[in-house]
Amino acid sequence: MSNNLRFKTSKFIDETYRVSFKFNNKKYFGFKGDTLASALLANGVHLLGRSFKYHRPRGIMTSGSEEPNAIIQLHDNSSRTEPNVRATEVEIYEGLVASSQNCWPSVNFDVGGINNLLSPILPAGFYYKTFMWPASFWEKYEYFIRKSAGLGKSPKVADPDIYEHNYIHCDVLVIGAGISGIMAAKMAAKNGFKTLLVDEKSHLGGSSIYDNSEFSKINNQITSSWLEKEINEISKLKNLEIKTRTSVAAFHGYNFLLARENLTDHLPINQRENKVRQRLLKIRAKKVITATGSIERPLIFNNNDRPGILLSSSIKKYIDLYGVACGENIILFTNNDTAYETAMSLIQRGIKINAIIDNREQIDSKISYEVEKNNVKIYKAYTVVDTYGYKRINKISIMKLSKDGQTVIGDKTKLNCDCLGISGGWTPAVHLFTQSGGKLKFREEDQVFIPDVYPSDQISIGSCNGDFSLEEIIKNTLFSIKKFLNIENSEYKTIEIVSGLNLSKRNIWLLPSDKPIGKTKSFVDYQNDATSKDIKLALREGFRSIEHVKRYTTTGMGTDQGKLGNMHALGIISETAGTKMGEHGTTTFRPPYTPLTFGTIVGRNVGEFFDIFRRTPIHDWHVENNAKFENVGQWKRAWYYPKNNENMHQAVQRESKSARDSAGILDASTLGKIDIQGTDSSEFLNRVYTNAWSKLAVGKCRYGLMLNEDGMVYDDGVTTRLGENHYLMTTTTGGAANVLGKLEDYLQTEWPELDVYLSSVTDHYATISVCGPNSKKIVSKVIPDLDLSDERFPHMSFKNAKINNIKCRVMRISFTGEHSYEINIQANYGKSVWEKCMKAGKDFNITPYGTETMHLLRAEKGFIIVGQDTDATMTPIDLQMDWIVSKKKFDFIGKRSLYRSDTIREDRKQLVGLLTENPKEILEEGAQIVADVKKSPVEMLGHVTSSYYSPNLKKSIALGVVKGGKNMLGQKLIIPMEDKNINVIVADPVFFDKEGERLNAKL
């Protein structure tokens, strides 16, 4: 460690606790309390990475979350590796490993540096302009562009850390624990508000906590001492919760905020086991106080990006908070007084300040006189015109500014330095305020945007509200918070403030140079290498909107979201276009304020907790019997049950054959079930289904088709009349919740006069369907007391029954075209009844089948599946299901739409059967259907919706929708595939047992 850069002064650094870490494979030491940035600076390391486009050497520029340059890869190749981490925010711990990004083979020698030399031919929009033609070459270009795009490396394996989400409800949320935030939190908590105070740093007090200057005092104490006492006081308050290392990422409407709390990132890896790494806080606050402070502005001049160039306030923070000098021969370059505070901090520790370059002609403040007294040469009305030093600044050249500040005059002077501090004044951090919907106004006198119109119960205080002097901050905080919280007692008696600072600033967005602008590189967005030249080019090329200039030049589109340079971009645009600042507005501030990890966003919703699984009561049996599952909505449904290494096709063929030859059994518990009661239930069903329900006898079942008001098929299912005023409706598995919602909607809003009550009972019953020629024998063994004779229990009827004294409902309904029974029993008996059926069916080779076989069997019968054979454009007429649409009923949902000019068109897509010329050929679902492949362009007539090989018919069958297909029976059509054209014949959609003999066969 180079000792002359570390000063023993800071109470935030534990000098008894040495920490070793590795950066770019080299071992360094720092102290507990250091950030990676402060520890590297203490070791004299400034060069941290290469810029995105030109691969220019870049160093640490700031000391906080606004850092554009010092972004590194943390943890290198471990499973925790994380790209784009700001070195200024990483607290070091024993064993930390980090490396530079965007450079190869090393940060010191980077091949991509050639781009810097090529920069004259890499202007804004270079990629757009160059790689657009010829269009067919894009794929080749893309390969190379992709290789050079992106910063850092993403992890290759699963994240080993744990994350979680927390909800917080509070009366008052205070964002930012600087001086105004601390005061606000104290006032709120002491007045009985349940208060939460959050700050992104590990310490409280913001920048005032290391303000040891004699030039600004509160009640005759230096600011840091006064604030320390305040912090001590509030940390004991019961009403106040304080969260450090917590960054508010998003401020949404109605005071809903998201914050990321870092819990273990500062700990050595071996201390992180089984601990939550980061927490996403979902905060709902009655009142929000934003005290997010301000960000120092850089100055925009030629070559303002070299390692060793830092914000002046950051140099101050490094020396005051971390005891680290950023150089041994420092020059400060400023347009306002705050750089003189930095100067005083450096002077007090005996660090050499070679010069201060000040844009201003007149400098009149106590602190500037004090700096001058210490023999620091101040160049008034001067500007830096160039800097030198490839991997670290070693020299600058300066010239005098003209009166209007637009040009430079006189001779060039060169000054040596190893560090340049720049200060362009301050930009209020209004990001969160604007995210919440707040409107900004532009304050002409010091060229800042400040909060104007608040969209919710919130207030901004301190420098994020444009108050920059200590006096303003404290006075306005007291006044505004008292009013905002409507409290009598401010908790503060008289506060006397002394400040030695003058707030004057000479604002020049783009500083002039002796070179023409085309020969300069004045960076506005450091991370994305956008220069003032690029912005001016964009304007010359006709871009006017700030949002367009942003996207064309990529200004403000890096991971730092332009926290430093966006104001300058606006300034340069308005100066060049000759418009007033503020007229353009700003670009949109979008969440997150600082990047969030994916881990934080998903929290515990990973792996099997990613989404909810719904399992049927019989699920365990399926698992034990080797079922493969498919997701239907949130349900896990048994898909097929492979035996002896069968593939899916083989298993489905076997299952389908057994179901028709002897017996099959299906778990149908996932079908939606809605219990309907009330004296108007029949009338209600009349209105929601296309067919008539009034005459359905108690104990009978009926298939129903439900439409949307636009006439398109929405859902289907069998409904059973359990009693005079009692029905049980079944819906499709995926549609259950929506159907219930739709029915409730009509009941509550259109037909409130109907006496009908709906209740979802999907989860209450297990449903077991036994089908096939032997189904009757099997069910009679399971429920011996039930009379299964066809006379007493015909197709489409229902019976109450008991299995071992447990009530159940048995329906004789069929989705396979086979004689079949559906047993509905209280869910917790589902598995045992299923096992009973399996036992009873053993002699009949009862075969469990899954959804795939179900789909095949129903396709043989031409039964539709809503959502597979239909989309939201099929009417019942299109489906050739005219029989189910009542002509007599006065009205039902969707009726009027069935004879709109569009729905009665003859050439609508209609459902047909398709048979391949070669019966072995199986069509692909989704394949296009055409009549003529030679026509150009080929006219698409429709597509295949369902396709299977039927083991019962020993041929391939398919359903599809075809324009005007109803009238094409027997016609030849073509399915063009990648390697061949398949000929098909349009057929009736019912392929098997058209007369329904199997349903009514005497068993």
Q: Which is nearer to another protein, 29 or 746 (CB)?
A: 746
CB of 750 to another protein, least distance (A): 5
In 10 A of CB 732, how many CB atoms?
A: 21
596 near 618, Cβ under 8 Å?
A: no
CB of 897 to another protein, least distance (A): 7
- How far is the C-alpha of 468 from the C-alpha of 971, rounded, in Å? 83
Q: Which helix (H) or strand (E) holds 82?
A: strand 82-86
CB of 604 to another protein, least distance (A): 17
Q: Which is nearer to another protein, 394 or 897 (CB)?
A: 897
Region of residue 57 (left: phi > 0; alpha: psi -120 to 50; beta: else): beta
CB of 263 to another protein, least distance (A): 25
Residues whose CB falls within 8 Å of the CB of residue 985, separated by 6 or more in sequence, listed in order? 914, 915, 917, 970, 971, 972, 973
- Asked, as a colleague might, if the bond just before 919 is cis with ω within 30 of 0, I would say no
CA atoms within 13 A on the CB side of 889: 23
What secondary structure letter does DSSP report for 558? S
CB of 286 to another protein, least distance (A): 10
At 592, list the tokens. 């997150």
Question: CA dist 291 to 429, 460, 464, 473, 567, Å?
Answer: 9, 6, 6, 10, 20
Q: Which is nearer to another protein, 791 or 891 (CB)?
A: 891
- Looking at residue 475, its amino acid is K
877 near 898, Cβ under 8 Å?
A: yes
**Minimal CA–CA distance to 255: which of 432, 431, 452, 456?**
456
Q: Which helix (H) or strand (E) holds 677?
A: strand 672-677
End-to-end CA, the chain: 94
Beta pairing partners, 718: 703
CB of 453 to another protein, least distance (A): 10
388 near 396, Cβ under 8 Å?
A: yes
Q: Which is nearer to another protein, 285 or 912 (CB)?
A: 285
Q: Which is nearer to another protein, 157 or 453 (CB)?
A: 453
- How far is the C-alpha of 373 from the C-alpha of 371, rounded, in Å? 5
**Minimal CA–CA distance to 443: which of 423, 463, 459, 466?**
466
- Asked, as a colleague might, if the bond just before 134 is cis with ω within 30 of 0, I would say yes
Q: Which is nearer to another protein, 219 or 708 (CB)?
A: 708
CB of 466 to another protein, least distance (A): 23
Q: Which is nearer to another protein, 363 or 743 (CB)?
A: 743
Q: Which is nearer to another protein, 752 or 784 (CB)?
A: 752
- Give just the sign of the alpha carbon dihedral 462, 463, 465, 468: positive
Q: Which is nearer to another protein, 14 or 745 (CB)?
A: 745
CB of 728 to another protein, least distance (A): 19
Q: Which is nearer to another protein, 210 or 892 (CB)?
A: 892
CB of 717 to another protein, least distance (A): 20
Q: Which is nearer to another protein, 192 or 253 (CB)?
A: 253
Q: Which is nearer to another protein, 5 or 196 (CB)?
A: 196
Q: Are strands 408-416 and 26-32 parallel, antiparallel or unpaired?
A: unpaired
Query: What's the CA dihedral at 364, 369, 370, 374 to 10 degrees?
Result: 140
- How far is the C-alpha of 552 from the C-alpha of 549, rounded, in Å? 5
Tell me how far the alpha carbon of residue 524 is from its chain's centroid: 28
**Minimal CA–CA distance to 684: which of 628, 584, 754?**
754
CB of 751 to another protein, least distance (A): 9
CB of 589 to another protein, least distance (A): 16
- How far is the C-alpha of 925 from the C-alpha of 911, rounded, in Å? 14
At 653, list the tokens. 């063929």
CB of 706 to another protein, least distance (A): 16
636 near 619, Cβ under 8 Å?
A: yes
- How far is the C-alpha of 972 from the C-alpha of 986, rounded, in Å? 7
CB of 591 to another protein, least distance (A): 12
CB of 442 to another protein, least distance (A): 21
Tell me how far the alpha carbon of residue 800 is from its chain's centroid: 51
Q: Which is nearer to another protein, 439 or 643 (CB)?
A: 439
Q: Which is nearer to another protein, 88 or 686 (CB)?
A: 686
Q: Which is nearer to another protein, 252 or 628 (CB)?
A: 252
Q: Which helix (H) or strand (E) holds 661?
A: helix 648-661
Q: Which helix (H) or strand (E) holds 256?
A: strand 256-262
CB of 739 to another protein, least distance (A): 13
Q: Catalog residues that contact another protein under the rule CB under 8 A.
A: 252-254, 256, 284, 437, 455, 709-710, 741, 744-745, 748-750, 752, 890-891, 895-897, 900-901
3-state DSSP assignment of residue 349: coil
